[in-house]
Amino acid sequence: MLKTLPAAKIIAVSIIQKTSWQVNILTTVIKRLVVTTIGCLIAGVAINTFLVPHEMLAGGTTGIAIILHYLFGLPIGPVMIALNVPLFAIAWRIVSRHTLYYGLFGMLMSSLAISATHFFADYRVSDDILLSAVYGGVLSGVGYGLILRVDANTGGNDIIGKICKKLYDWNIGIVGFYVNVSIMAVSAVLLGIKPALYTLISMYCTATLIDKVVEGFNRSKIVTIISDRSEAIALMILGSLTRGVTFLEGEGAYSHKNKKVLFCVISLSQLVRVRQLVEQIDPQAFMIVQEAAEVRGRGFSRIN
pLDDT per position in the chain (304 positions), as tens? 444 456 666 676 667 666 767 778 888 899 999 999 999 999 999 999 999 999 999 999 999 999 999 999 999 999 999 999 999 999 998 888 888 999 999 999 999 999 999 999 988 889 999 999 999 999 999 999 999 989 899 999 989 998 998 888 888 888 889 999 999 999 999 999 999 999 999 999 999 999 888 877 667 889 999 999 999 999 999 988 888 899 999 988 888 888 899 999 988 878 888 999 999 999 999 999 998 877 777 666 665 5
d(CA 232, CA 97): 53
**pTM score above 0.85:** no
Question: Based on C-alpha coordinates, what's the Rg of the chain?
Answer: 26
CB 186 within 8 A of CB 120: no
Give the pLDDT score at 298. 66
CB 289 within 8 A of CB 222: yes
d(CA 42, CA 297): 30
Reading across the β-sheet that carries 258-267, which strands appear in turn? 246-251, 258-267, 220-226, 286-292
- Helix, strand, coil share of the chain (percent; to 5): 70, 10, 20
Other C-beta atoms lying within 10 Å of the C-beta of residue 255: 8
How big is the chain, counted in residues?
A: 304
Give the pLDDT score at 2. 46
**CA dihedral of residues 185, 189, 190, 193 (deg, nearest 10):** 90
Which helix (H) or strand (E) covers residue 58, if one does?
Answer: none
CB 48 within 8 A of CB 121: yes
d(CA 64, CA 288): 46
Give the pLDDT score at 301. 60
Give the pLDDT score at 212. 85
CB 268 within 8 A of CB 219: yes
Q: Which domains occur in the chain, in start order?
A: 7-215 (no CATH), 220-292 (3.30.70.120)
C-alpha 104: how far from its chain's center? 19
